[in-house]
Amino acid sequence: MWAVLGRLGKRTIASEGEFRERFPDCETRAMPPFGNLYDMPVFADESLTRDKEIAFNAGSHRELVRLAWEDFVRLVEPKIVRFGGGSIHSTAA
């Protein structure tokens, strides 16, 4: 994983303007974890795989979605990552 991240070069946090451009239908910094709908890869920490459900912003700061982890994986096919180190692997069959 670190070799892959090393090839990405220097990264910075996006500005609020960049968030608005990338996610026009969401409030700034309230994007749901469906990057696949915005042509972006989705990464999820492996600790989430132990939860039956996850909750996340629904595009606003006032609404949350609660979804079964298995349904999220089926819909998004995130790459499961141990953010503290280790390897990346896909949950896609």
Check pLDDT > 80 for residue 73.
yes
Q: For 49-68, what is each residue's pLDDT tens digit?
A: 999 999 999 999 999 999 99
Phi, psi of 56 (to 5 degrees): -155, 165
The CATH number assigned to the domain holding 58 equals 3.90.960.10
Check pLDDT > 80 for residue 4.
no
Q: For 6-23, what is each residue's pLDDT tens digit?
A: 566 666 777 888 878 888
Centre a 10 Å sphere on the Cβ of residue 88 and count the other Cβ atoms it contains.
14
Check pLDDT > 70 for residue 24.
yes
Domain count, the chain: 1
More confident site: 84 or 39: 39
Check pLDDT > 50 for residue 93.
no
Give residue 59's domain range. 2-90
